[in-house]
Chain A
Amino acid sequence: MLVVVLVVATAIGLVLQRRAGRVRASTAPSTAPGWDLAGVGPGTDDRVLLLQLSSPICTPCDRTREQLTALADEHDGLRHVDVDIAERPEVARALHVMRTPTTVAFDRHGTELLRVGGVPRRADLLAALPLEETR
């Protein structure tokens, strides 16, 4: 019994570790209005919205917030908005998000581009975003 539990837990751990932070392109994107949910409109230069869904008791959410805030500062046209789904559960419902942190990227027109569950892998996320190579 002990061996079974440890083997199952190890398998779950390995699967979660492989999936954590991985960028998944949205092949069947939700039609949820990302900019509206974020409560902001796209500014003239904004190309991409990173909508982060967080919960109150969540260490990886804090690390994701730090990383994405820095990313948005470094790149023109990138907006980052963090939403606490404890305060706004309708955002999680609209985007069918079960776990935190989840980051959903939308383009200027509100089309969903990709999702990341867990703390994003910075290089992978940057490579996947349609940002202009300025600066």
Chain B
Amino acid sequence: MTDRLDPRGVRFAAAVTTVVLAIVLLTGSGVLAALQALVFAVPVVAGMRWSPYGALYRVLIAPRLGPPSDREDAAPVRFSQAVGLLFTVVAAVGYLSGATALGIVATAFALAAAFLNAAFGFCLGCEVYGLLARVRTAR
């Protein structure tokens, strides 16, 4: 688990995720939300090496760019995929079961997080870690 990732690939994957979730929000497609959940689930279970959007980046984009000047740790990225998985599963269940409001809210949160990552390099886990730790220790 000492994988190192090209940060540009991580941002690319977040950008693709943003587009997919935007389409989910526009069309209300539970099937597409479920497909995105699957895309999140693969690297969470098997490791970042198996990320579908990461593979897309390596095949289509990385050969056109130079080697990365920096590499980032895979563990935080994998964690963010797990958070994305949680939200998109809720979204898919919401849309497919007719609880459309739930689908919209979950998609909106997942979309906002993916967009913040793609556009600003935002680290959700870092922003709320202290908060989560406090909730955990309070119980």
Among the 9-residue stretches A11-19, A28-36, A39-47, the one with 4 or more Cβ atoms under 8 Å from chain B is A11-19
Q: Which of A5, A16, A99 contacts B130 (CB 8 A)?
A: A99
In this complex, the interface size class of chain A, counting residues with CB under 8 Å from chain B, is 20 to 34
Q: Which of A9, A57, A89, A93 contacts B111 (CB 8 A)?
A: A9
- Does A120 reach chain B (CB closer than 8 Å)? no
Query: Which residues does chain B contribute within 8 Å of A110, judged by CB atoms?
Result: none
Pairwise interchain contact B137-A8, C-beta atoms closer than 8 A: no
Query: Which residues does chain A contribute within 8 Å of B127, judged by CB atoms?
Result: 16, 99
Query: Which residues does chain A contribute within 8 Å of B125, judged by CB atoms?
Result: 55, 57-58
In this complex, the interface size class of chain B, counting residues with CB under 8 Å from chain A, is 20 to 34
Query: Which residues does chain A contribute within 8 Å of B119, judged by CB atoms?
Result: 9-10, 13
Residues of B81-110 at the interface with A, using a CB-CB cut-off of 8 Å, are: 104, 108
Q: A1-B25, A1-B108, A89-B137 are in contact. Are A13 and B122 (CB under 8 A)?
A: yes
Among the 9-residue stretches B38-46, B52-60, B70-78, the one with 4 or more Cβ atoms under 8 Å from chain A is B70-78
Pairwise interchain contact A57-B120, C-beta atoms closer than 8 A: no
- Bound Cα distance from A85 to B127, whole angstroms: 13
Pairwise interchain contact B134-A89, C-beta atoms closer than 8 A: yes
Query: Which residues does chain A contribute within 8 Å of B73, judged by CB atoms?
Result: 59, 62
- Does A21 reach chain B (CB closer than 8 Å)? no
- Does B32 reach chain A (CB closer than 8 Å)? no
Query: Which residues does chain B contribute within 8 Å of A2, judged by CB atoms?
Result: 22, 25-26, 111
- Does A49 reach chain B (CB closer than 8 Å)? no
Pairwise interchain contact A9-B104, C-beta atoms closer than 8 A: no
Closest to B110 in A: A5
14 A–B pairs (Cβ distance < 8 Å), ordered by A: A5-B108, A5-B111, A5-B115, A10-B115, A12-B116, A53-B130, A57-B76, A58-B76, A58-B123, A58-B126, A59-B76, A60-B126, A98-B131, A99-B129
Closest 5 CB pairs of A and B: A55-B129, A98-B130, A9-B112, A13-B120, A57-B76
